[in-house]
Structure 1
Amino acid sequence: MHALIRNLSPIVWMQRLLVRTSITQRVFLLVSLAVVGQLMTATYQLVDLRSNLIDQRKHELSNLTASALSIAEEEFQSGTSGRSTMESAQLSALKRIGGLRYADGGYFWINDLEPKVVMHPFRRDLEGQNVSGIADPNGVRLFVEFASVARTRGSGFVFYSWPKPNEKAPSPKLSHVVTFPAWGWVIGTGVYIDDLDAIFWKSLWRQAWIVAALIVMCTVLSAVIGRALSRSIGVLNRAMEQLAAGELDVVIPGLKRKDELGDMAKALEVFKKTSQEKLELEAQAVVERKAAEEQRIAAERNAIASERKLVASVIGSSLAGLADKDLTKKLTASLPNAYDDLKRDYNSTLDLLAASLGEVSEASISVKTGAEEITHASDDLSRRTEQQAANLEQTAAALEQISATVTRSAAAGGQAKELVVAARKDAEEAVVVVSQTTEAMAGIDKSASQISAIIGVIDEIAFQTNLLALNAGVEAARAGEAGRGFAVVASEVRALAQRSADAAKEIKALITTSSDQVGRGVALVTNTADALRRITSQVIEIANAVGDMAAGTQEQSSGLAEVSKAINELDKVTQQNAAMVEQSTAAAHTLKLTSDRLSEMIGAFRMEGPRSLGSKARTA
């Protein structure tokens, strides 16, 4: 809890803020605090000025109302003492108080607690009127406030707005009222305070100009001081960085300053000189250590040179024997302890080399024997491979002839299949044509039936026309001479109707005959279609058989082609095997010669033991 309170304290907060800000920012912060303090002081002075002005006006108003109240008390004493009547005393008091003036038009008024205006020197129209409804533009019912203050406190102040004499616009006003209980009066007077606002704003602008000038001056001063401090500290910082990097010839600036930066520069100068002295001492120590180290290295180098000379002599003698192919000459002389491993490794290497050469000699003998066997086998394999290649060539030629025959058969089968397919297509098209012909004949038969029906209608119309013409002739005969012409027309119409009926009968007979012939044609076409369908099915069977035959021939051709290809590949492989057999035979002969040469070379080495490599090689 204590730690939390300590962390939240203003001092700790300010310390943290200062740690996170630069010198320039701190200077600006200090100046800003001073400016803020000046602003607060000016604000307080302005507020206090306005309060003092108001208090001064209140004190003046209190003295003025006291004077008016003393007049009322004096007249009241006159009325009570009998020097005058109470009514005349009131009138005298009203006259005297109403005639009082002060400053520029200051006056007094009197109202009661109702409130009604008892006396007003400039608003006679209000006297005797209830003025509780009068209010200023801000809604303050001023006479109600006067009566309320007088009733509750006996005296007091009221702020409101009221027009000045001979003016219509209201102005801010401060009034003081005091009650005179004997007569129930409220005596008041007031002063306009708009002049106080002018005084206040004048003081406000004066303080604002002063504070603005102070802000500008402090800002410029803080910028100059902050920049100077930042520049000086930056120069010292670069000097410290150079010293930290080992640059001891750097010039420390600010040694002649008399402030804290000068003290920092002097401390850096001391650090620089101390570092230079320390560097010189370290350099001298390094030189001394280097000289001692060089002497020690020279002594060790001489000792090593002597040892190397001895070792080189001993090893050179052994290597000379090894160069002369003598594997029995080992390192037996005494060498320094540092070369014991070299001596042991050299002798072990000679032993391993001798053993390896022995194994190589035995292996060369085995290789020679194997090479001879490989040579005989390769010669036999070469002969057999040549015979196999000749047989494969004959087989390939026979297969090529068979493949050509099968290919021709497949081509003929393909042509037959194409012909059958074409015949099948023609038959199918003929079936379609026959079907279309059948449909057309059916349409003709249907049309003939429709024509027969139409002819029946025409015959019926001719019959009705004939009846009408007959009736018309009868009616014309009845008409006598007047209907003669109409009778002639009726006779002609009857003749035309009869001819139409005869023509319709002839057409009907022809259509009947045509329908019979169309029916026979439909039957023939139907039979033709059935025959074509049977032909089409047979052609399809033939096409399938020919297709199967062509497919089988094609498969045979493909199989023969694959066999021929495989035989050709086998022939190529056989040829390659023959070439490889020849190469193997040549390599076997070369291996035999190489093994003989290797045996001769190994036999030149001298080794410890009852038998040398040379004797082994010769025995083999």
Structure 2
Amino acid sequence: MISWLRNIRIGYRLALVVAIAAFGTLILSIVTLNEFFNTSYTERQLKTKHLVEASHTILGQYHNLAKSGTLSEAEAKDRALADIRELRYGNDDYFFILDHQPSLIMHPVKPELQGKNLDQSADPNGKRLFREMVDIVESEGEGFVDYLWPKPGYDAPVEKVSFVKGFTPWKMIIGTGIYIDDLREQQFAFLSRYSLIVVLLSLPLIGALVLIIISIRQPLQATLSAMENIAQGEGDLTLRLNDHGKDELGRLASLFNQFVARTQSTIQEFKDASLQLNTLSGEMSQVVAANKQSTEQEKVETQNAASAISEMAGSTEDIANNAQQAAHQTESGLGKVSQSSQDISASMSGLTLLANELDNSKQAVSELTENASKIGSILDVIRGIAEQTNLLALNAAIEAARAGEAGRGFAVVADEVRGLATRTQESTDEIQTMIQQIQNGVQGVTHSVDVAHNHSVETKQSAETAEAMLAEVNHAMQEITSITSQIATATEQQASVANEISSNTCNIAELVDKGASDFDHVSDSAEAIQRLSQVLADKVGQFKV
């Protein structure tokens, strides 16, 4: 946020402060205006509530007269409606009464609506105001309803708030409403007055802002011009700003003057230093002689480094041998992984045969189940024959009983036949039970075969996964073998390189010896430094001190 503000000119930033203040004032006014409207609106609501409660007592009084027998209920209702119809308050405001249909029982301004069902009646916003009045009375006993309704003598609907309250003994709802469009007009009038005040106050504020911007911009512009002269112009370090004033800009001008004064002094010191640099370049020759002696010492140390590098080359050869042994061990492990992969392949073949055998067993069990079902059907036929035989034997026994002595022998035979039919039926039931048990057992076997088949498939899949993983391991070990061989080769090469480095180090020692003679040329460099010091003096001379 701060970096963004730094991209805006100070004048604009000051204007932004005023704009923010104006915006805050506007927000505060809007909040105050809304608070005024809400307070006035609440007062209107309380007024309607008190008026309805007062008229509600009229209904209560007439109900008590009807209850005591002084008036009939119909007469009491008529008198109550007549009294409430004549009630007025405010700007010819009135009361209305409706039932829970909702149908309008009494409306002094629009009598044409009396007796009509207003359940679907809605204001221009689609609000079913009478239905909402009934709902709020049935749920809470009383309450407020906002809607649009035309004023007496007008057709255009305006904002209105009504308070309704139920009168349970007569199942009536009494209410009254107050128009609140005047509150909106008061809001608009207040907003207009406030806007005028803001405009009148803004004019002197804008004038003051212009003066403030000028008082800030002129010193800043002078400061920028002076700094631009030093940075990109003549480099006049004798330039000074007007530092009168006790504000930050006056302080800035004072600090600028102090900075330029110190810079002026520093440049003068640079001029003096360039003269001393010429003297120091002569002393550099003496330092070069001393460095030549140090070079001799470096030669000895270089020879020692060559010996250490030779020892390192021997260690590198040992590392190469160890890398070769690691490659042989990796190749041995690779063979074992290949053997494991072959064993898993053999296991997968066995699992495939097992899955095929389980499929055959499942088919045989299915055929057994089908045959058991056929036997059950045959038993049903036998059971039917036994029942028919039993019925025929019973009929024969009845006929033999009718024949008397002549049919006694026939009756004995009929009893025997019926007994055989009964035993046949019992045997059939036992066979049916056994077949049912066999079918249950077959179903259990079928389930077990299915489970075994699924397990064999899962085991086969696991074996395939393991085979794939072993293949990946095999591939990885092959890569490891290759990398290990490469390491061994690289290590051998490093040993060779180390030997070369040892030889080169000896050559470096010779070069160091040769470099000792090169220090003689450094004296020439000292002369070059003297020339550069003169250039420095010329550059410093560009500033006016």
TM value normalised by structure 2: 0.46
Q: Which one has a bigger Cα radius of gyration? A: 1
TM value normalised by structure 1: 0.41
